[in-house]
């Protein structure tokens, strides 16, 4: 019995160490996930951010670790195979790519192309909020005289299409958006506007 208890304790410590290491890789972990491992929630949550939408798991097995790792911030990966290889390498798992995909699909985590948005600073967000608050009370007559414009910048990049694993209906959750900073390698700018008149 002592041997079994020691092995169980060692496995929990190993799993906890892996989860904390995954946090260093960009993991975002829900409080209830840490509780399922019988960890001290406060201790683990000190290195894991809380976010809605991550399923609860019962054990610290390979499947659990794969699902936790899939919640990290998206990174440039050219193909699903590259992403699966990165997961297996980071977790030191001796399993095939298909097993990785199967476990993630069972947990309803799908491979998707992330929404790509420009990185917004606090000043950007604050400015947008102030603008919205300034005009929130305007009537339809006011807005009928407003011209709305938008632009699209097509820029060169050093990678192809980016992939990530995420739960369904979480595309615009901040953890699953690939934020970019403009590099200056602009190849084409498009601009347009719409108006009631």
Distance CA(63)–CA(106), nearest Å, equals 9
Distance CA(85)–CA(101), nearest Å, equals 11
Interval 166-182: pLDDT, tens? 777 777 777 777 766 65
In terms of DSSP bridges, do strands 177-180 and 115-118 run parallel, antiparallel, or are they unpaired?
parallel
Helices (H), the chain: 2-24, 31-36, 41-45, 62-69, 80-91, 97-106, 122-135, 140-144
- Predicted local confidence at residue 173, as pLDDT: 78
In this structure, of 39-43, 69-73, 99-103, the range with the lowest mean pLDDT score is 39-43
- Predicted local confidence at residue 142, as pLDDT: 93
Q: What is the mean pLDDT of residues 58-74?
A: 52
- Predicted local confidence at residue 190, as pLDDT: 86
- Predicted local confidence at residue 37, as pLDDT: 43
Q: Would the pLDDT of 19 be above 70?
A: no
């Amino acid at each position: 019995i002592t041997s079994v208890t020691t092995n169980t304790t060692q496995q929990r410590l190993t799993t906890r160490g892996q989860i904390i290491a995954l946090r260093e890789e960009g993991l975002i972990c829900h409080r209830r996930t840490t509780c399922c491992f019988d960890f001290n929630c406060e201790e683990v949550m000190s290195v894991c951010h809380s976010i809605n939408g991550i399923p609860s798991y019962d054990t610290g097995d390979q499947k659990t670790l794969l699902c936790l790792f899939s919640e990290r911030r998206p990174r440039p990966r050219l193909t699903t195979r590259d992403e699966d290889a990165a997961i297996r390498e980071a977790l030191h798992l001796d399993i095939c790519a298909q097993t990785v995909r199967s476990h993630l699909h069972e947990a309803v985590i799908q491979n998707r192309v992330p929404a790509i948005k420009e990185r917004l600073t606090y000043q950007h967000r604050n400015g947008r909020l102030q603008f919205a608050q300034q005009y929130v009370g305007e009537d339809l007559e006011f807005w009928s005289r407003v011209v709305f414009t938008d632009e699209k910048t097509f820029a060169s990049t050093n990678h192809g299409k980016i992939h990530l694993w995420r739960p369904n209906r979480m595309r615009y959750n901040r953890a699953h958006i690939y934020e970019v900073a403009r590099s200056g390698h602009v190849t084409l700018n498009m601009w347009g506007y719409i108006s009631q008149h």
